[in-house]
Amino acid sequence: MDRIIIFDTTLRDGEQAPGFSMTLNEKLMLAQQLARLGVDVIEAGFAASSPGDFSSVRKIAEEVKGPIICSLARANKKDIEAAAKALEPAERKRIHTFIATSEIHMKYKLKMDKEEVLARAIEAVKFARNFTDDVEFSAEDATRSDLNFLCKIFEEVIKAGATTINIPDTVGYAIPSEFKEKILYIINRVPNIDKVILSVHCHNDLGLAVANSLIAIEVGVRQVECTINGIGERAGNAALEEIVMAIKTRRDHFKLTTNINTKEIYRTSQLLSHITGVYVQPNKAIVGKNAFAHEAGIHQHGVLENPLTYEIMKPEDIGLPTNTIVLGKHSGRHALKKRIEELGFTNIPDEALDKIFEKFKVIADRKKEVFDDDLFAIVQEVLLDVPIKTYQLEYLQVLSGNTIVPSATVGLRRGEETFQDSSTGDGPVDATFKAIDRITGINGTLLSYRIRAVTHGKDAVGEVTVEVKFNGKTFVGKGSSTDIIEASALAYIDTVNKYLYRETIDKLIEDFSIEESIKES
Ligand code: KIV
Ligand code: ZN
């Protein structure tokens, strides 16, 4: 097989990292983009881990067509049943079950010996096969596990029905040359290894996740697990865009392909950044702001003469937009719709398009030019928030200066009613947030606040990202406006709405599970 299976775990391993949590709508939007990107498998979540995860795996299984939809499950019946139930509506589904195999994990985390772990793994794979023919088994912390035990467990789970065997470098400990030897050892010692697809899942603690993934495919591994922008636990997972572009750019070396439509890479990376509010470092390979920028005169000269002097990839290969100036205040609905479709947002309902157009006109009135990034912000604001907006900002008045106590008066609409309250604060933003808290009656703790200019010039749109904790749960909210206090208020209200939405969903799922168990018993 000369094609590498791209298994995307942005929505599972990526999303579980602090600061990357997403709402159901955000996950669905990203999953749809991952399908457009052409990933083979979407690991949509860990169904048993929370009601929120269960419902997002289920929703993605219902709505996203094309890739295999996968849920993670520990090696126990309850987890596997939850995964199977969440995956029921999927056209093609995979259950991914795992158990740790290293001495340190077995002794301190699982408190189990090798025999127990082996028995659990076999049982889990057999049980998962009752729900689907596509079962992946992972030996967590494989790179710190006893190799002979690893070979034994792999041989037995293949006999039990596993179809993909994954070798995770869970703590990012492997060194490429050593990883290669370990994989070769497994290939040579596990007699039935040719019956399955061999996979790797590398973490980036030593900055080697992509290098380890690439060495693995050189020795016969045919699935790599990775995430967009390399997000994930601690230093992250192997970056999808780096693996894919290495395989494409060095086809002469790897002699392999992927199903990825590389022209969707940049858009997917941007979408994830916009959703999470976490932007990639400028010098990040492939998708960083500077990845295709040539500063040095001597480089610029070379590139102008022949791009290949300093460019090993073309910006258009990853879908990097070349025209940034797009629309202005005289542009109509039709032109706006066309541009939005070019940005990848197709099939937008008319009602949402009306709202986008309304917001676009407001921005266009304040600015001379409306850029793609402005549109991105508007579209996401409308598309992601339509079903979950409990509170909406009606008006905001702020008094601030270096000789007065900053104060804010806020009006929020909830349903047909508008509520107003005021507060003073340490600054205009603090006063605004406090006034919002007084209206909603929910006190949030601000964990982080970031602001960036989305576009250029003095009239740029400011995008504010806040991380706020409500009742022990953290939510990321975003707001954009040419007025940064308004953007801050919108971002804060966004977190309040997400919190209220999550509470409602959790309640519904709880009621549903209670009803289900009453029916079953
Ligand atoms: O890093 C890891 O070991 C994992 C497994 C669950 C595959 O994420
Ligand atoms: Zn992992």
Model pLDDT for residues 312-323, shown as the tens digit of each residue: 999 999 998 765
Ligand at shortest distance from the CA of 72: 1
| CA gyration radius, the chain | 25
Q: Are 208 and 174 in contact (CB under 8 A)?
A: yes
CA of 223 to the centre of ligand 2 (A): 14
Half-sphere exposure (CA, 13 Å, Cβ side) for 38?
A: 14
Give the pairing type, strands 369-371 and 325-328.
antiparallel
Lowest average pLDDT, out of 74-83, 269-278, 410-419, goes to 269-278
What's the maximum distance between 2 C-alpha atoms anywhere in the chain?
A: 79
Ligand 1 atom closest to Cα of 72? 6
Q: Who wins on pLDDT, 496 or 363?
A: 496
Q: Are 41 and 30 in contact (CB under 8 A)?
A: no
| Domain extents in the chain | 5-276, 292-320, 333-383, 392-508
Ligand 1 atom closest to Cα of 225? 7
* Residue pLDDT, tens place only, 189-206: 999 999 999 999 999 999
* CATH code for the domain defined by 5-276: 3.20.20.70
How many angstroms separate the CA atoms of 99 and 123, rounded?
12
Q: Which CATH superfamily is 392-508 part of?
A: Alpha-isopropylmalate synthase LeuA, regulatory domain (3.30.160.270)
Ligand 1 site residues (CB inside 6 A) read 13, 72, 98, 138, 140, 166, 168, 170, 201, 203
CA of 411 to the centre of ligand 2 (A): 44
Strand partners, 469: 445, 474
How many angstroms separate the CA atoms of 246 and 482, rounded?
39
Q: Atom 2 in ligand 1: which residue has the minimum CA distance? A: 170
Instruction: List all residues 6 or more positions away from 52 whose beta carbon is below 8 Å from its beta carbon.
Output: 24, 502, 505, 506
CA of 251 to the centre of ligand 1 (A): 29
* Residue pLDDT, tens place only, 116-162: 999 999 999 999 999 999 999 999 999 999 999 999 999 999 999 99
**pLDDT at 456 (0 to 100):** 65
Q: Atom 5 in ligand 1: which residue has the minimum CA distance? A: 140
* Residue pLDDT, tens place only, 438-461: 999 999 999 999 898 876 666 677
Q: How far apart are the first and last CA of the chain?
A: 48
Name the strand (E) or helix (H) holding 397: strand 392-399
Helix 372-385 to helix 24-37 angle (10° resolution) is 130
Alpha helices (H) in 393-480, listed in sequence order:
428-440
CA of 46 to the centre of ligand 1 (A): 11
Ligand 1 atom closest to Cα of 141? 3
CA of 237 to the centre of ligand 1 (A): 10
CA of 311 to the centre of ligand 1 (A): 35
